[in-house]
Copies of this chain bind each other. A is one copy, B any other.
Amino acid sequence: MLDICLLGTGGMMPLPRRWLTSLMVKLNGKGILIDSGEGTQVAIREAGLSFHDIDVILFTHFHGDHISGLPGLLLSMGNADRTEPVTLVGPKGLERVVGALRIIAPELPFQLEYIELDEPEKVLLLEGFEISAFKVNHNVICYGYSLEVKRAGKFDAERAKEQGIPLKMWNRLQKGEIIEADGKVFTPDMVLGPARKGLQVTYCTDSRPTQSIINHAKLSDLFICEGMYGDPEKHEDAVKKKHMTIREACEMARAAEASELWLTHYSPSMTRPKEYLKMAQSVFPGTVCATDGQKKVLRFCDEENTEEA
């Protein structure tokens, strides 16, 4: 079960009643935040989420609207008595950028650990997630992220019995342990059925459409993508500023065969994104014009999905 909250839906600058785009994803009490613009810490409070659950922060890129809230967020996490380390992931230069911003947040009661990306694609295993970072196409180095939760097969007692695996090992093997005993090696696949479909959320701001985004969003349960402009006349602006129109985001969702698309990172000039929803759904029916604080619980395929907001 994956708890998802899109904390804000704005691009460029925070506005009254529209926070900057940022995503929180929680799995088993561990949390991943993507981006942290000015005001994200307030959006976290408004959404009723806890600073304690932020174990990893992924940055798409270093434009102000995606990272300016970091020093304040770190201070508030410190004030909330966090002591466990926090892992920061982002493009090359991350430690230098964060170091500069920390001139106003020099003392924190927790360690920061940095993972800098400099390859076109990279897979990270963090807090139970398989995180794929992939380069997109913006006017500075920028990454999209796909967060996957893999799911092992069901426990199969019949198979375990057939192979004569001692009962006392069943539980440990089911939890993924490899056991050596009596000169034999026992592995989890010996007691498990075939792997089941996991969960996948793919996130991309800011970028022109790219094949890498489609590849990574492929069959995602949820694809969250910028739809900076709705008006078709803004297409030229989108090309020039290396952003995307709503139509382009929808075309990518369709090509990726995602289950659902949440549009976000709206231009301040687009005051009513829902004006473009009908057009968007004509391209990709599963499109949602996301709003601040939009939540969703993704459950594994043999559970039921629940929309909360």
Contact = CB atoms under 8 A, between A and B. Distances in A.
Given A38-B38, A38-B39, A42-B39, A13 B75 contact: yes
Given A15-B42, A41-B14, A103-B101, A64 B68 contact: no
A91 to B, nearest CB: 13
A242 interface: no
A205 B7 CA distance: 31
Nearest to A72: B38
A63 interface: yes
Given A13-B72, A68-B104, 19 more contacts: A13-B75, A13-B76, A14-B41, A14-B72, A16-B42, A16-B45, A38-B39, A38-B41, A38-B42, A38-B72, A63-B104, A64-B71, A64-B75, A65-B72, A67-B104, A68-B68, A96-B103, A100-B100, A101-B101
A283 interface: no
25 contacts: A12-B79, A13-B41, A13-B75, A13-B76, A15-B42, A15-B45, A16-B45, A16-B46, A38-B39, A38-B69, A38-B72, A39-B39, A39-B42, A62-B104, A64-B72, A64-B75, A64-B104, A65-B72, A68-B68, A68-B69, A68-B72, A68-B104, A96-B103, A101-B101, A101-B103
A16, A38, A42, A76: most-surrounded residue (chain B CB, <10 A)? A38
A103 B100 contact: yes
Contacts of A46: 16
Contacts of A15: 42, 45
Interface size class of A (residues with CB under 8 A): 20 to 34
A195 interface: no
A68 to B, nearest CB: 5
Interface string A35-74: 0011101100110000000000000001111011101100
B67 A68 contact: no
Interface in A66-102: 67-69, 71-72, 75-76, 79, 96-97, 100-101
The 8 closest A-B pairs by CB, nearest first: A100-B103, A38-B72, A64-B104, A100-B100, A68-B72, A16-B46, A13-B76, A14-B42
A255 interface: no
Contacts of A75: 13, 64-65
Residue with the greatest number of chain B CB neighbours at <10 A, chosen from A46, A71, A104: A104
A13 B75 CA distance: 8
A101 B46 CA distance: 26
Interface in A137-151: none
A27 interface: no
A256 interface: no
